[in-house]
């Protein structure tokens, strides 16, 4: 049964929790919006579309915000208890620290379960919606970012520069300059116009209408030197000129970037289990067939891979080696050496493929365990660190607790990135890399809890300097007290 004291502890924790969670979500989403804004610029999106995209993509930061919020809120709540001597009053009444932490611990466990459910079901679905929305944007709006005063070089082989944009969706241009990036041996083309207008855009072509300008063209492809000397450059003044530019390859690259590579991010934990198992099985079959083919080429016969004893393996030659002349022996040995070099080069070229496959599997495992499950456990670990740490520091507010929480979170986050990089480089097992940060910080939480239960002065500097001073005091010369009395 929850008592009044439990409700008081939960209310004291819940106030800072809501405030800190709101502030951190705002900061993380704003930072995320600035880093992702280049995907939305120049595509004619309205405010609602951009807001919806940022909502879908910004939900991903909850995985980081919630553990940090719990850490900071627990330090502030228990630091406030200690600063107001409420913690001392509770302990003097016979209430132990674990009993004081118990209601909040239950609350944090519930939030951890909620975070796991969110990362396992809601988040993948929202990420999938965001991906589909980005694909639809790239299909309906070319991935071109026409900025004023800058050359647009994505539309190879043309470069386009505009001085000013206006009108609906910035489709009306002023002072347009178009140049074909062609070698000196091919036809040259340059267009200068006072105004331009984007008539239509689809998945294949960009249609432009240019007004009041000049077209400069020099047809030199396939002509000799004398023909080029007799031919001058063509200059055409136009009132209206319609141009079509092929952007299908540009659209295809944008779609491939959005739809491929990281589809595992849109799967739940159980779906990822099946996906990872299928990839592992296919890799085993592929590399076993590859190794079997290498053995067949090397030994020239069929042997079961598991039955070959390479130490005792001996293949009887179809001819008598001693009866061969020196030239034939030399040719056979050189042929064998060349074959081994070919096999070695082939396997060396496949090393990058093997590494990339292992890296991809490691990325999926890390995403499955770290981003779906591990961060939920991090909430509990951070509470076990923050609550006793706050009772030891005995400082509430947003001063010292913020500094301590940020330092702990940075160490945790950097160690997680370091473990992740080790796993991707096949140095550390991906499962270990996902859980090691929690495994390292959990003993710290238990240690701080024990110290807080014993009212240990963990941050008392004199306590640590005392043994050092006592050690150096042994080397100091003692004064003669009797002699100094008569001086």
Structure-block tokens of residue 483? 């002699």
| 482: helix, strand or coil | helix
The predicted pLDDT at position 250 comes to 61
The predicted pLDDT at position 252 comes to 58
Other CB atoms closer than 10 Å to residue 110's CB: what's the count? 10
Instruction: Let me know: does 216 contact 191? Beta carbons within 8 Å.
Output: yes
Number of H helices, E strands in the chain: 15, 5
| 201: helix, strand or coil | strand
| 90: helix, strand or coil | helix
Instruction: Let me know: does 41 contact 145? Beta carbons within 8 Å.
Output: yes
List the chain residues with pLDDT less than 70: 1-2, 36-46, 134-147, 153-155, 169-170, 184-185, 200-204, 220-233, 248-262, 293-324, 348-350, 396-398, 455-469, 471-472, 474-487
| 70: helix, strand or coil | helix
Percent of the chain as helix, strand, coil, to the nearest 5: 65, 15, 20
Other CB atoms closer than 10 Å to residue 82's CB: what's the count? 19
The predicted pLDDT at position 316 comes to 55
Integer angstrom CA distances of residue 340 from 50, 113, 126: 58, 56, 52
Instruction: Let me know: does 76 contact 398? Beta carbons within 8 Å.
Output: yes
Which backbone phi and psi does 449 adopt, to 5 degrees? Answer: -65, -45
Domain ranges for the chain: 1-144+261-479, 158-246
User: For 152, which DSSP code?
Assistant: B
User: For 37, which DSSP code?
Assistant: G
Return d(Cα 242, Cα 331) in angstroms, integer.
Answer: 68
| 18: helix, strand or coil | helix
CB within 8 A of 461, min separation 6: which ones?
A: none
Return d(Cα 307, Cα 287) in angstroms, integer.
Answer: 17
């Amino acid at each position: 049964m929850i008592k009044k004291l439990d409700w008081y502890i939960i209310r004291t924790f819940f106030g800072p929790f809501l405030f800190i969670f709101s502030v951190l979500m705002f900061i993380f989403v704003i930072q995320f919006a600035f880093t992702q804004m280049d995907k939305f610029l120049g595509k004619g999106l309205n405010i609602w579309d951009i807001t919806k995209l940022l909502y879908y993509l910004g939900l991903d930061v909850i995985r980081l915000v919630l553990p940090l919020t719990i850490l900071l809120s627990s330090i502030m709540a228990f630091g406030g208890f200690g600063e107001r001597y409420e913690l001392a009053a509770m302990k003097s009444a016979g209430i132990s620290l674990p009993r004081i932490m118990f209601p909040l611990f239950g609350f944090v466990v519930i939030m951890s379960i909620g975070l796991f459910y969110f990362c396992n079901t809601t988040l993948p679905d929202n990420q999938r919606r965001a991906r589909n929305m980005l694909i639809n944007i790239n299909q309906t709006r070319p991935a071109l970012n026409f900025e004023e005063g800058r050359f647009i070089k994505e539309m190879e082989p043309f470069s386009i520069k505009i001085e000013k944009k206006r009108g609906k969706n910035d489709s009306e241009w002023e002072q347009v300059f178009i140049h074909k990036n062609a070698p000196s041996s091919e036809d040259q083309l340059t267009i200068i116009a006072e105004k331009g207008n984007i008539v239509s855009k689809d998945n294949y072509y960009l249609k432009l209408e240019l007004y009041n300008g000049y077209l400069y063209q020099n047809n030199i492809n396939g002509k000799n030197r004398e023909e080029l000397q007799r031919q001058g450059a063509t200059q055409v003044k136009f009132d209206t000129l319609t141009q079509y530019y092929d952007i299908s390859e540009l659209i295809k690259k944008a779609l491939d970037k959005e739809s491929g590579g990281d589809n595992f991010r849109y799967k739940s934990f159980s779906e990822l289990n099946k996906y990872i198992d299928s990839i592992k099985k296919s890799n085993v079959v592929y590399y076993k067939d590859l190794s079997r083919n290498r053995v067949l080429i090397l030994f020239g016969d069929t042997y079961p891979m598991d039955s070959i004893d390479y130490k005792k393996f001996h293949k009887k030659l179809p001819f008598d080696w001693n009866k061969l002349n020196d030239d034939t022996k030399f040719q056979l040995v050189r042929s064998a050496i060349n074959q081994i070099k070919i096999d070695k080069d082939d396997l060396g070229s496949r090393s990058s493929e093997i590494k990339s496959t292992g890296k991809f599997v490691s990325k999926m495992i890390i995403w499955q365990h770290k981003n779906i499950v591990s961060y939920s456990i991090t909430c509990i670990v951070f509470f076990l660190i923050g609550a006793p740490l706050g009772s030891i520091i005995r400082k509430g507010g947003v001063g010292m607790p913020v500094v301590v929480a940020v330092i702990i979170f940075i160490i945790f986050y950097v160690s997680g990135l370091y473990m992740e990089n080790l796993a991707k480089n096949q140095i550390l097992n991906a499962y270990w890399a996902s859980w090691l940060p929690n495994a390292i910080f959990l003993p710290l939480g238990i240690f701080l809890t024990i110290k807080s239960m014993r009212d240990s002065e963990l941050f008392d500097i004199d306590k640590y300097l005392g043994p050092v001073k006592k050690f150096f005091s042994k080397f100091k010369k003692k004064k003669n007290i009797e002699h100094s009395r008569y001086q």
